[in-house]
Structures are given as C-alpha cells and as structure tokens.
Structure 1
Amino acid sequence: MFARALAPAVRRFATTAAGPVVGRGFAVSAFARRDTTPAPYNSNHGKVKTFAEIKTQADLLGPGALPGTVPTDIEQATGLERLEILGKMEGVDIFDMRPLDASRKGTMQDPIVVQSFGEERYLGCTGCPADSHDTIWLTVSRDRPLERCPECGGVYKMEFLGPADDHHHDEHGHDEHHPEPHKDPETFADFVKPEYRYQ
C-alpha cells in the first residue's frame, strides 16, 4: 500500500531528473589589468636632505611619495615636524625635551635656567625631589623671566635664545602696527606687594 502511493512521486522525480539537460549561459568579460607593483625607488626623486643641509624654509618641504605608493613620514612631513624627524635621525633633540633639573630647588641667587627661542615658555614644576607634588604649570617670558612655584618655592628663569632685535618693534619695544604696548591680563599675583615678590 505504501509502495503504491509512493510510485507516482518516484515516477515524477525520475522523469524530471532524467529529462533533457539545459546548459547554463556562460559570459566572459574582458578587463585590463594594470601592474600594481610599485616602481623601484628613483634616486633622483625624493632626495632627502640631512639635518645639516637644512638652510632655508624651502628645505623643510618633503619630496612626497612616488605615484601609487603610500608616503612615509620622511617623505610627507613638512616644517617643524620635518626638522624634528631629521634631527632625531641624527641624534639631535630639536625641541630640547629633556626634563628640567630636579636635583635641586632653584633660588633667586641660583635659579633653574630654562632656555627658549620664543617670547615665552610654559614649564611644569613637580618639586624637588621630582614628583614630590602635582605638576604646577608656570609661564616665564622675556618681560618676566623669573617665576616661583607656589607649591615648593622653586625659582625658574628663562634665558632667551631668539633674535636680539625684532623688526616689528621700535626701539622702545612697541609694536609698529599697535601703538600701545601689550599688557598681560591682571591676576592675583599683580596685587602682591613688590617687597614680597620673588623672595
């Protein structure tokens, strides 16, 4: 009984499976394949100047990468970043990132000297010995070269290494575009009596 009921289904499946085979369409598409291997490094392209060869601001432009390649830092860096990378390649610390002298506490007679090429510099005092208090950020400038840490009392002095004269200022230090001299905003330190300052 079960075989009689199953026979029509088997017959239908057998005729379908044994039926004519229809071939699938096969499409071929042609495309041009470019060679993506990078070209060998051209010695004329991208000549990297050494730190000693940097003379002008134009020397701080990177040569760029060859077409089809990813540029490295030395190929794409420009300006101060390029100067820093070239200096590090030759062992020169351009920005003098050494920590300040923390073996002693600076005094008014013998302050800890901080060199700067700019008009002002920020420095962080952590006390003496190092890390004896949280970092206190101080600002020293050409107008105010001495600064005392309010936590430990250490004294720091800025030594200016930049150009002696600035062509934007007259002989009195006034900016030729702005007749009034720049004045720092007032803080609580401005209201301390002079006899208590830097002592």
Structure 2
Amino acid sequence: MTQNMFQEGLYQVYVRETPPPEASEEVDLRDARIRRWFGTVVGSRVCVTGATQVVSALACILSTVTYSCVSFNCSMSMTMPVWSSAFYLGTGALALFLPKKPTKMRVAALMVLNLFSFLLGFSALLSFAVNSVHAVALKTNQQRIGSRAAEGSSITFTVLCMLASLYTLFLTWRGLRRYSAPNSQTYCPVSQHLDNGTSPLLEQAELGL
C-alpha cells in the first residue's frame, strides 16, 4: 500500500503538473495545417476575394462621393457607404497579405473584420434606401442620369464587397473548424495491486483458510 501511495504521488508531481510532450506537438501540427490551408490550399482564392474587396471599395468610395455631391449637395448624410468601403479596404489588404504569412491570430482577425465590414455594408445599403427620399430635385436629364448611375454603381460595388466578405468568412470558418479542434485525451489512473500479500484475492484466501 505504501508503494502504491508513492506511485500516486509521483503521478501527481510529474504527470499532472507537467504537460505531456505530445500536446505541444499537436499544437504545432494544427498551426502547420492552418498555415498550409491559408497559404497554399485556399491562398489564391483569399487573394482574389481580397483584391475584389480593394477594387470594389475604391470604386464604391468614388461613386458614393459623386452621388452625394450630385444628389445631396455634398451632404454628410451619405458617409455610411464611405465608412464601410474604408473598412473593406483594410479587410481586403489583410486578405492579400494573409497567404504570405498565415497565422491563427491573423486568420481570426480577418474573420472578425469581414464580419464587421459585412454589417457596415448592410447598413450602407439601408442608408441608400432611407436617404434617397431626401435627395434634391435635379433640373436636367444629364444630372438625373449621372445621379442614378452613381447610385447604382455604389450599390453594386457594396454588394460585391459583401459577397466577397461572405466567401472569405466561409473559407476562414472552414479552416479554423477543420484544424483548430483540440484533441484532448483524458488520463484515467488504473489502480495497481501488487502481489505483496495485500491484494483482495489473497485476503479472501486467508479468510477462507
């Protein structure tokens, strides 16, 4: 019994307090798989969506400023699409940089930025619907055509940015879900009864005698 208590004490000190070496190896393996997923497997697709976000955001800023100046006399009421496009610029730049040096933190940051930018893009679309009622009356047909073209371009590029964000969110969620699940193993100590005269079978035999 004393020997069993000594073994249990060794287990408490050296096994439970010291993490097993396989844990760090599993973490390194998961990080390597995440880097491979975003660096080689879906790297080209992430770059394409990032470039789409950058180009669409720049075009959306130009068309939104044009629409605001033509239809609202450069009013500040149409700043929401500009803010969402600015966030899409940063998100697209991060998506272009990610396949070169992918890490788990950068992937998580890209996922958060895309989610936040998607919500801002949805708010920008609502602002177009609300503020179009307060547009000034345009005198010439050329002004009306230019205003409609600028509004349609801004909405189109905002929708493109939102679709690119959804696709990037799908890629990041799929990679993190596939390679970030912890593989935990629970240690169950097994009681050892040595044949030193204290096992239950020997005690029963002595009592039977």
| TM-score after normalising by structure 1 | 0.25
**Structure with the largest fraction of helix:** 2
Structure (1 or 2) with the greater strand fraction: 1
- By relative contact order (CA 8 Å, sep 6+), the higher-ranking structure is 2
TM-score by length of 2: 0.24
